[in-house]
Amino acid sequence: MIDTSRMEAPLLEVRGIHKAYRSGGGMLEVLRGVDFECPPSGFVAVIGQSGSGKSTLLHLMGLLDSPDGGEVLLGGERIDNLPASRRDRLRNTDIGMVFQAYHLLPELNALENVLAPLLVRHGVGAWFRHRKEARRRAEELLCRFGLSARLHHKPRQLSGGEMQRVAIARALVARPRLLLADEPTGNLDEASGAGILDALCELNRDDGLSIVLVTHDQSIARRADRIVRLVSGRVEGL
């Protein structure tokens, strides 16, 4: 998938993104030509005030929404205008997402939640062929985040920090190239938040995972290689 000649090119690139929401009578322009890129194995923090459009930008990069203008490129290829099935596939294989509210599936236990992307990817037959391997990978990830004793707990039996670690494990289980995190520490106390952040930094450093982290917390943003600030719908360089 990755073109070696373009290895130096940014992994993720956002060019002139526009996004507006219809609100009341008029249009609310949230993003007005955002340009932004993340190199391979890069760690970029996006900061900005509440309502500045950080989450919106992240959703656009994660293909959960489509921009009104501009383009999103992954590995040099435009991905925002792909057909729905290809975008579903990319979300599943190349992009991992972590949210502020964890977003675990309440009916599944920790292990199953981590396995969810693989369950989504495989049909019934393929799943039974890959089951062992997938389970091993998921257990490994959970152990790595210190959750080896929580494999069969349902989300509501877990603490916030544990849930967020499960969510990160889930985002990583499919070995994505890019991790998008939307205020992963926003709901956590300082200690748990620091733990999560350490885990992300470690992933970036040791595994070479590219991370785009959205936060409004300057101190967290400083852990990143680069900081991008969103102000009134545009990127303000630092």
Ligand X SMILES: Nc1ncnc2c1ncn2[C@@H]1O[C@H](COP(=O)(O)OP(=O)(O)OP(=O)(O)O)[C@@H](O)[C@H]1O
Residues near ligand X (CB under 6 A): 21, 23, 28, 30, 48, 50-56, 216
- Binding other proteins (rule: CB under 8 A), the pick from 47, 74, 104, 196 is 104
222 near other proteins, rule: CB under 8 A: no
Question: Is residue 28 close enough to count as binding other proteins by CB under 8 A?
Answer: no
Rounded CA gap, 10 and 77, in Å?
11
* 161-190 residues near other proteins, rule: CB under 8 A: 170
Nearest by Cα to 19 from 34, 27, 10, 29: 29
User: Which residue of 24, 25, 83, 106 would you call a contact of other proteins, by CB under 8 A?
Assistant: 106
Residue 53 interacts with, from ligand X, other proteins, Mg ion, none (CB under 5-8 Å by kind): ligand X
Distance, in Å, from the CA atom of 100 to the CA atom of 196, rounded to the nearest integer, reads 12
CB 164 within 8 A of CB 172: no
* CB of 63 vs other proteins, minimal distance in Å: 9
The contact pattern for Mg ion, residues 37-56, with x = CB under 5 A and - = no contact, is ------------------x-
227: contact with other proteins by CB under 8 A: no
Nearer to ligand X, 99 or 145 (CB): 99
Q: 174 with 96: CB under 8 angstroms? A: yes
Using CA atoms, how far residue 38 sits from 15, 35, 87, 210, in Å, is 12, 11, 19, 7
> C-beta of 151: minimal distance to other proteins in Å?
16
Within 13 Å of residue 150, how many CA atoms lie on the same side as its CB? 23
